[in-house]
Amino acid sequence: MTVKPFFAPQLFIPGGVTDISFYSKAFDAVVLRSWLNDDGSIHVAELSFDGVLFHLHEERSFKAQLTPVEAKGVTALIGLFVNDVDVVINKALQAGAILLSPAQDYDYGYRQGSIQDPFGHHWLIETNI
C-alpha cells in the first residue's frame, strides 16, 4: 500500500484527562479510536476533522514534550483551514475555548482568528478569501 505523506499533529494533554469532548463540540471532530489507562483516563486518542487526523497524547509518556501549561507558553500553533472562520470560532467559544484574537481579513488573502483550547493549545482558524 502506498501512502501519500500527510501531517497528523500530536497534541499533549495532562495525565488524568477523561473528557476530550471539546474537540467534538468545537470542531465536529470524531474520535476514531482511543487507548485508555487503567484509571480510564486518555493515554492516546486518534481524532479526525472530516478525514484529517490528529492525536491527543498524555504528556507523561514523553519526557521531552510538555503541555502548554507545563511549558508556560505556546508549544505549537495549529492552523485549521475551514469554510467559515466566524462559525468555527463561535462554536469553539461555546465549547469552552478562549478567544485570543477575533477573526479579521488580512491583506495577504486570509481571514484568520485565534483561540486557545481548554488544554492550552493555540489554534489559528483560517480561510482563503
pTM given for the model: 0.84
Mean per-residue pLDDT, 14-36: 95
User: What is the pLDDT, as a whole number, of residue 61?
Assistant: 55
Question: Count of alpha carbons within 13 Å of 105, Cβ hemisphere only?
Answer: 4
In the predicted model, is pLDDT for residue 77 greater than 90? no
Q: How many CB atoms lie within 10 A of CB 79?
A: 13
pLDDT confidence band for 66 (50 / 70 / 90): confident
Are the C-beta atoms of 126 and 110 separated by less than 8 Å?
Answer: yes
Average pLDDT, whole number, for the chain? Answer: 91
Percent of the chain whose pLDDT exceeds 90: 71
In the predicted model, is pLDDT for residue 107 greater than 80? yes
> Which residues does 7 contact at the CB level (< 8 Å), separation at least 6?
none
Are the C-beta atoms of 105 and 119 separated by less than 8 Å?
Answer: no
Q: Which domains does the chain have, with CATH numbers?
A: 10-128 (3.10.180.10)
Quickly list H helices, 1-129. 21-27, 68-71, 85-94
